[in-house]
Amino acid sequence: SQQGEEDPQALSIQEGENATMNCSYKTSINNLQWYRQNSGRGLVHLILIRSNEREKHSGRLRVTLDTSKKSSSLLITASRAADTASYFCATDRAEYGNKLVFGAGTILRVKS
């Protein structure tokens, strides 16, 4: 079953600061994705990073993947109040038949 793999569980920062969230997994993957969820709404895809990639950028988002450590991080630079949301990583692990499996998420609060 899906288990929380994001770290920290919750993060509170001031507007303008950077926010870093981490995701760890146990077995090899082909792809890792990050999603954002605003309170009570559907998840929105942010970035997909493949196992042979080490870093990807999208606007203020930077995702890194370290397959040797089986971990990924999502960095949001110059955070805004509108970045307040839950952030989930999702992996396609062989132990789950390569289907996409979501972690429990990190709750980010950006104070203005």
Contact between 21 and another protein by CB under 8 A: the answer reads: no
- Beta carbon of residue 112, minimum distance to another protein (angstroms, whole number): 26
DSSP class per residue in the chain: -----EE-SEEEEETTS-EEEEEE-SS-EEEEEEEEE-TTS--EEEEEEETT--EEEETTEEEEEETTTTEEEEEE-S--GGG-EEEEEEEEEGGGTT-EEE---EEEEEE-
Contact between 107 and another protein by CB under 8 A: the answer reads: no
Residue placing its CB nearer to another protein in the complex, 12 or 98: 98
Residues that bind another protein (CB under 8 A): 1-4, 29-33, 35, 40-45, 48, 88, 90-92, 98-105
